Amino acid sequence: MKTLTGKDLAAAIRARTQAEAAAGAQPRLAVVVATADEASLWYVRSIAKAAAGVGIACDVVDLGPDAAPGRIRETLAGLSADPRVHGLMLQTPLPPGASAQELAAAIDPRKDVDGANPLSLGRLAAGLPAFPPATAAAVLALLDHYEVELAGRRAVVVGRSTVVGKPLAHLLLDRHATVTVCHSRTRDLAAVTSQAEVLVAAAGRAGLIGAAHVARGAVVIDVGTNPADDGGLTGDVDFAAVSNVAGALTPVPGGVGPVTTALLLSHTARAANRPHDAQEEAHDG
Ligand SMILES: NC(=O)C1=CN([C@@H]2O[C@H](COP(=O)(O)OP(=O)(O)OC[C@H]3O[C@@H](n4cnc5c(N)ncnc54)[C@H](OP(=O)(O)O)[C@@H]3O)[C@@H](O)[C@H]2O)C=CC1
Ligand SMILES: Nc1nc(=O)c2c([nH]1)NC[C@@H]1CN(c3ccc(C(=O)N[C@@H](CCC(=O)O)C(=O)O)cc3)C=[N+]21
């Protein structure tokens, strides 16, 4: 069994991003936060730290866990219109009553480095240039880095969220995989996932994927980041059990997570240097 770590790939992406960031005006990423969720705040701190390391300015705009949806929307609209800001992301979760899907429509698609605006997902689905969510892009980047063949192969994604499962299904389809998406209403999950040659777990349920869910030799990517009893993080995959069956498996931590952060910054550098790259037809002018 091969362990597919993300650390070296993340470092390579950061090095490339640093060079790209140094090539033009300093890129700036704004992260809007309206939560007290510890995992989410950890991610924000790690984005800010990694940004500093590659020469990208990062503004964290913390509106507090009680922010009204209108206030979040106005903040996003203001940052969308601010020419100093190249990348803009709205952190989830959000306060009760605030819809990420609705609010993300206020993010200028050219600055939508985490692919959250419904326009970005629509363009992705239509095969048009757009920034995919950094997490979905990280899964593809890991598969490419380890030269995992996708064309013609059976891929199964567990999870259908707008940030991970859905965009990932489109990215895999684009690469000519035969894609099945599972969710909480899927009957006999193991019967479906054990057909996968490439299995991606993005359900947010610790240990959901056990040995019986995995075909011998399959490549398994674990997107889950669940709080563990020891205060650390654990994935959706039972690592010990599945490592006896899978051909290759990503660890948590140290797998998809670091690549996600690196790609968010890479998208920001690209948005700064080539603002029309991702959204050629979304805006005229
Ligand atoms: N490493 C990284 O960079 C990132 C990691 N994550 C992690 O990935 C995981 C998923 O995140 P996210 O997509 O936002 O989560 P959501 O809660 O939004 O979505 C979870 C999905 O999994 C499905 N699901 C839940 N339970 C089961 C089950 N028992 N069997 C089958 N499907 C199930 C849900 O089905 P239904 O639609 O029917 O409810 C839903 O589609 C989380 O652990 C999160 O922390 C997220 C973003 C980035
Ligand atoms: N709009 C939005 N987009 C997101 O992508 C998003 C979000 N909101 N809200 C929160 C979740 C969570 N998330 C993580 C990213 C990286 C790590 C990561 O790098 N984790 C380290 C380990 C961290 C540790 O050990 O504590 C690792 O996996 O190696 C974790 C979690 C992105 N999220």
Across residues 111-126, what is the average pLDDT? 97
Query: Which CATH number does 24-109 carry?
Result: 3.40.50.10860
Please indicate whether residue 233, judged by its CB atom, sits closer than 6 Å to ligand 2: yes
Q: In the chain, which segments carry CATH 3.40.50.720? A: 134-258
Q: State in Å: Cα 225 to ligand 2 middle.
A: 7
Across residues 38-61, what is the average pLDDT? 96
CATH superfamily of 134-258: NAD(P)-binding Rossmann-like Domain (3.40.50.720)
CA 43 to CA 252: how far, in whole Å?
Answer: 14
Please indicate whether residue 232, judged by its CB atom, sits closer than 6 Å to ligand 2: yes
- CA distances (Å), origin 124, targets 128, 226, 267, 269: 6, 28, 15, 20
Residue-wise pLDDT for 188-236, tens only, equals 999 999 999 999 999 999 999 999 999 999 999 999 999 999 989 999 9
CA 240 to CA 173: how far, in whole Å?
Answer: 30
Nearest CA residue ID for atom 20, ligand 1: 203
Across residues 75-81, what is the average pLDDT? 98
According to the model, what pLDDT value does residue 278 have?
60
Cα–chain center distance at 13: 15
Q: In the chain, which segments carry CATH 3.40.50.10860? A: 24-109
CA 140 to CA 177: how far, in whole Å?
Answer: 12
* Contact by Cβ (8 Å): 213, 244: no
CA 207 to CA 88: how far, in whole Å?
Answer: 33
Nearest CA residue ID for atom 23, ligand 2: 253
Whether the pLDDT of residue 187 is over 90: the answer is: yes
Whether the pLDDT of residue 284 is over 90: the answer is: no
Taking the CA of residue 252 as reference, the ligand 2 atom at the shortest distance is 28
Please indicate whether residue 258, judged by its CB atom, sits closer than 6 Å to ligand 2: yes
State the pTM of this model.
0.96
CA 30 to CA 32: how far, in whole Å?
Answer: 6
According to the model, what pLDDT value does residue 117 have?
98
Whether the pLDDT of residue 13 is over 70: the answer is: yes
CA 279 to CA 103: how far, in whole Å?
Answer: 19
